[in-house]
Structure 1
Amino acid sequence: KAAQRAAVEAEQQANYERKQAIIAKLVEMSADADNVNRVFSEVRDLQAQFKEIGEVPQQYSSEIWKNYQDAVEKFYDQLKINKELRDYDFKKNLADKEALVAEAEKLQAEEDVIVAFKKLQELHDQWRAIGPVPKDVREEIWGKFKELSTSINKRYQDFFVERKAKERENEEAKIAICERVEALDFSSLGTYAAWDNMTKEFMEAQADWKKLGFASRKANAELFARFRSICDKFFAAKAEFFKQMKDVLASNLERKIALCERAEALKDSTDWRATADELSRMQKEWKTIGAVAKKYSDQVWHRFLAACDYFFEQKKKNTSGTRRNERANLEQKQEIIERLKALDADAPEREVAIKTLKDLQSEWQSVGHVPFAEKDAIYDAYRTVVNRIYSKWDNARRGSRMESFESTLSEIGGDTNRLYRERERLLRVYEQRRGELNTYENNMGFLSARSKNADSMLRDMQRRMQRLKDDLAELEIKIKAIDSKL
């Protein structure tokens, strides 16, 4: 009997270990969420094996059965989730592909066939990136997309066939123009009239060339080089002829006319120092230029002199009191800063303080320029005290708004419709503020610590985010106050 009992106990222990192994396998399979569908039949086999295994030691009986049930339930729960996720993916993928079909339909109306073709390629890339759809509509949705793609591709192919024919036509026309100008002989021209007449022929050829579209890329480049070469030869020869015919007087006249035009362009400038230096430099250059033909000499000199005199007269009128005025403006702005500091220290009633601050800011804006070396420092001092005053009043302003809101609620009383309208208005403001806060939070990640102004920008964004958070908290309090009355 002892031997039989030992044999039974050994068998029960072996059964316990086999069942433990099956449970472990089930747990492992349920944890592999990506493969629960594939191993479903194997799980069914493990369940059958578990049931076929005999008894286990009495002290483990309840435990082994509970662990088995938990493992099986966990697997089937995961199987259900996987199926639901797959169905959801199918549905979402179908919606995405239907949207791509709609985009492809819109491309039928796109006049630019190249743009339509490129956008179609992007749609195909997106299509390939989208997963499968339900099997019963798979062929149908692909058929629609494929049919639209075929139509767009055909338009694209037809476009290039037509363009190739047009390019060949343009190529033949450009060859004819090249041959036309190459036949012109300008080697023996000896008069201005002859060069002018030949110039008209080249200009007409260039105008005809510009009217033509492109030839094929290779032919177009070769033909343009050929056409440009003969044009360059002609205009170089023309330039050489005129150079030989002109004397130094004409050259000097051109340089002095150029100085006149430059002086006339500068005479209305208010950049007094830089313009005065430039005109002085030009006057020195004028003295280095030789004489011009007598019939132009007085005319061109008076033209240049008039432009220079006009500028220096305006400069004299406008700069006599500038430095004195800038120093007075600096003192006035320093006085405004001191008054702002006094306002910050005295902390008068909010309404009085706001009006005073606005008046001082308006007065600051009305003051003119200060000396250039002082402008950054005086502005920084002004900005610092203004920011400090506004910061101090933020909390006071919030308290005042809450008092005003509570007063508004008292006036509304039990009017439910007005309460609901007020609540909807506050919710719209709340969503707007929350959207602004999300935008700032997203933009925080784009600030580079290595950026020159990163620290300043970061602090500014953090201040604005905190202000938005305070506004959101205040809006929540107001909405809860309305809810308590509804």
Structure 2
Amino acid sequence: MEMEREKTDEQGSLIAGVADNRGNTLHSEIDLTDHEEHSEEHEHLEEEHVDYSHFTKGQLVNVIKELSKESNFKRIDHIIKEIKPLYDDYRDKERAEALSRFTATGGTAEDFEYKGDDNDIAFDANIKLIRDRKGQYIRALEEKKADNLKRKQDLIEKIRVLADGDNSSNQFDAFKEIQREWKSIGPVPGPQAKILWASYHALIDRFYDNQSIYFELKELDRRKNLESKLELCARAEKLADVSIIKDAIRDLNELHHEFKHVGPVPKEDKENVWQRFKAASDAVYARRDEYLQKLQQELHGNLDLKIKLCDDVQPFATYNSDRIKEWNQKTKEILEVQKQWEIIGGLPRAKAKEVNKKFWGAFKTFFNNKNIFFKKLDEEREKNLQAKNDLIQKALDLKESHDWEKTSNELKNLQLKWKDIGPVPEKFREKVFKEFKEACDFFFDQRRSQQGKVDQEQGDNLKIKEEICAALEQHATGQTASAELLRELQDKFNAVGFVPRKDINAIRSRYHEAVDKFVAAIQGFSEDDKSKLLLENQLSDLKNDPMAERKIFQKELAIRKKISKVENDISLWKNNLEFFGKSSNADGVRAEFNDKIKTATDHLKQLKDQLRMLKTVG
């Protein structure tokens, strides 16, 4: 009787221990659920948000191609929800432009059919691929859950049989094997999960209540469970030293899952082991909370910086100019703002979309306006190219003509029209000029070689130009030189036709030397006035040169180079002045530098005046 009573007491203690441990398990499960929610929040906050609003069509297609290889469909759905409207905007805009072109060429909207480009085909194909893969994944997942449900239901029936069977150690071993198998089976459909879990624990209670298993065997099992939970405690405590908090949280969640499925421990150890495990968990969660707090502070600091950059970039959205140089300068400025933007880190998710939209909206508007400007400029240059090609064709049609006088005049008129036409695309500039010049040169070379009277005419022209040069030289030695007389003589000189080829350089050199002497002899003119008059004479000479466009361009480069050098010299001398103190010994040096700066400033003004005069040519 004593032995039976002792055995009954032991079994009662075991049953009480199981009930207590089940409470412990429930406690662990509730705590785990709470921490999993925090873990999701942590990953949600930590995930870097990508702003796709400034991506091109090709970049969006690359994003969808990469997504089609992934298996995290929750993340995929989130990104598709963000990028698909952006892509559809591109497609709608291109469709509208295509429809506009179609109707502009005489088509009707009812006959219009838009097929899209290769990017559209690739984008739609990858969207369909992702949807198909997601459907297969969901079906497979549901099938797996249904299979898991069937397996767990079978295990419940096995536990039910064991719970109603006779006492034996073999039954206890079978029961532990069922527990291990239960733990290894994955999730089941949501509606059945709670019912299944409740049935499972109810049968465990029933098994322990109805079985008379040897106390020693049960106690041994509890000791093994205690060892397992102590090991889990130790592993949880080590997580406090893991540097990457995200990894620590993930590992801790796994430990909670294991802790939850370990069986009962001795009653006297139950509370201690749980408190130790909870303390280790709390230490990790405290680090996580501190990390999240710092992350939020950092994100809000980034928000303040990016809001300021948003304000800085807004004026660019309304910027406009008709000069290429000014557009290029503004482009450098806005790209510098973009660099500052990219250096700053992420933003709070609640504000990221709004702030990114404001910044990139202004950014895209600027470049859209710039593209419109250059598109218009390109259109004008294309029109100029067409106009010059038309002149080339006319020159080619005239080059074989033997009607020398009429054709000469027509070609000269074509040359005047050529100069009136604005610039063409840079890549065609040399080509069209060469073709036009060769056509004109061909005719004039033929005229020179085939008309004997040309030589006489050119000889007469040479004599006239020599007389004009002599007149310039004569007036330069007396007191009769004036700007009006110079203009009169230069008009006569430029009005004279061609001279013999062998004399071209000589007469031109004599003419320029005579002009230099003439200008130097003008009374009452400052050096600045004389320089302007000389430049005016040179520009007048250039207007009648067949290669005027190129020579004017070369002269402009030369003047700009001089301006740059003078500006650098002035800047250097001004910097040098700052190195001298106010002592009397430095006064002479400062005066010397001030004289240099004044002289250079006057020279710089002259050069800039020359550049302005040069731009009036043509």
The TM-score range, normalised by the shorter chain, is: 0.3 to 0.5
Please, what TM-score do these two structures have when normalized by structure 2?
Answer: 0.30
Please, what TM-score do these two structures have when normalized by structure 1?
Answer: 0.36
Rg bigger for which structure? 2
Per chain length, whose mean CA-contact separation is higher, i.e. which structure has more relative contact order (CA < 8 Å, sep 6+)? 2
